[in-house]
Amino acid sequence: MAILHHHPFCPHSRFVRLILAELGIEAELVEEKPWERRVPLLELNPAGNLPLLLDDSGLAVPGPAVIAEYLDDTRGPTLGDRRFLPQDPAGRVEVRRLVDWFLGKFHGEVSDYLATEKIYKRFMPLELGGGPPDMSAIRAARANVRYHLKYIGYLIATRNWLAGRHLSYADLAAAAHLSIVDYLGDVPWDEDETAKHWYARIKSRPSFRTLLADRVPGMAPWEHYDNLDF
């Protein structure tokens, strides 16, 4: 069986868990604390970032974008319309542009700040940066999430899914990153009904279930986190 080294509140790990679930690939989940930089993990992935997929053959595939491409290379061609990177080059550009947006820009401006400040720091030892959250980082993330939500609403206003007609990696990346922010109650859903409906649609998919069951010890989610009709 494949093995996924992940953290339940790492948004990149959640993106890959969604892909695996959508593709029906079972994987054993091994929880990692990203701040520990365990040597066995660094031997498999010198960059040390999460998640890391070990496929059935033992091949180590590191990082969310590389894993997504690998799964498209190896599983995509047989999926037809259910392929998360479409066949046509222009469609692939649009999906990758948006994946890059959420794994890069949204992460750097929103989800990394919130996961680090509100979740990881509760569990990190002081000498590795643990302690109380930096409120200015949290305020910045809360301000930034608003224009990302608007951008999602803007795209969905003319498209069925984020990158076009079909569900794609773009939706899975966006929803995975938003799901962390949503756990914390920091998505201003009322500001964009279109984006909210898109999220409700994707949140209702069976692939989302295990994400909605995750809990941060000692920290309850926002009341509508696992409510499919929020």
When asked if residue 35 is in the footprint of a copy of itself (CB under 8 A), the reply is no
Distance between CA atoms of residues 52 and 215, nearest Å: 21
When asked if residue 65 is in the footprint of a copy of itself (CB under 8 A), the reply is yes
Q: Which 8-state DSSP code applies to residue 22?
A: H
- Residue of 162, 166, 169 lying closest to 199 (CA atoms): 162
- Residue of 129, 120, 113, 102 lying closest to 34 (CA atoms): 120
When asked if residue 74 is in the footprint of a copy of itself (CB under 8 A), the reply is yes
When asked if residue 47 is in the footprint of a copy of itself (CB under 8 A), the reply is yes
Distance between CA atoms of residues 102 and 173, nearest Å: 6
When asked if residue 157 is in the footprint of a copy of itself (CB under 8 A), the reply is no
In the complex, the smallest distance separating the C-beta of residue 229 from a copy of itself, rounded to whole angstroms, is 31
When asked if residue 56 is in the footprint of a copy of itself (CB under 8 A), the reply is no
Which of residues 45 and 207 has its CB atom nearest to a copy of itself in the complex? 45
Which of residues 90 and 213 has its CB atom nearest to a copy of itself in the complex? 90
- Max Cα separation, the chain? 50
When asked if residue 177 is in the footprint of a copy of itself (CB under 8 A), the reply is no
Which of residues 45 and 144 has its CB atom nearest to a copy of itself in the complex? 45
User: Are 197 and 157 spatial neighbours (Cβ–Cβ below 8 Å)?
Assistant: no
Which of residues 36 and 73 has its CB atom nearest to a copy of itself in the complex? 73
